[in-house]
Copies of this chain bind each other. A is one copy, B any other.
């Protein structure tokens, strides 16, 4: 099954466009979990078990695992394995933002798809399509290319104007027109600028998925995000929240609080579909 098909099934089954970012650090998870072995994996497992009926995808960001070295990578793999075994219908998006020359991109693809078993990955566009060829060749996987990111200062290069178009618009255009021969390309567009999300949707048409981070801790508005990013079928967008859900409470009630936050955001998203 391709990533695209797997995502469509989980969106429908859980009636959800919510993706939860599994971005825990061992110094930020609730105290009650810090004493067990594999604390991040066990924290993730607890979060997953109370939200697996509420999400369309999970998205661990490699940075938080790498920061803890091999222990972290082990726990990232344990998390992916747990998802694949217990919730095989929910796709895993590895948020890695990788990009390197072809020879090296092939090695990153092995890490993300073969070692971790990810269904999709985030990638950086700066080096161009050819640099990402080894990823593009994984026709059954999903590739989310950074287009318009949610961070402060993302306009520094992304809003530069070439002719009559901004750089992020050209990224969207090139990806939809030239990169997507295997129908596995999608885009990352932040929730912090809904008008740009709407522009990207216009450029890419209905078929392409938009992964939208920036709701919650980063301040993106849910209603504006959904209205701007959704396609004419009421889908084509997934909204990521990390800290707003996994750290909804730092106390012993962290699973209940995470579930409540996930229910609230999933329902809020669905209100505007």
Contact = CB atoms under 8 A, between A and B. Distances in A.
A240 to B, nearest CB: 12
A238 to B, nearest CB: 18
Interface stretch (A7-15, A45-53, A125-133, A197-205): A125-133
Contact of A153 (B67, B128, B154): B128
A243 B102 CA distance: 14
A224 interface: no
A167 interface: yes
Interface in A49-91: 61, 63-64, 66-70, 73-74, 77
A63 B158 contact: no
Contacts of A170: 157, 160
Contacts of A152: 102, 130
16 contacts: A25-B107, A61-B100, A61-B107, A63-B107, A66-B73, A67-B110, A70-B74, A73-B73, A126-B149, A130-B152, A130-B156, A157-B170, A157-B171, A160-B160, A160-B167, A161-B162
Interface of A: 23, 25, 61, 63-64, 66-70, 73-74, 77, 97-105, 107-108, 110-111, 114-115, 124-131, 146, 149-158, 160-162, 167, 170-171, 174, 218, 243
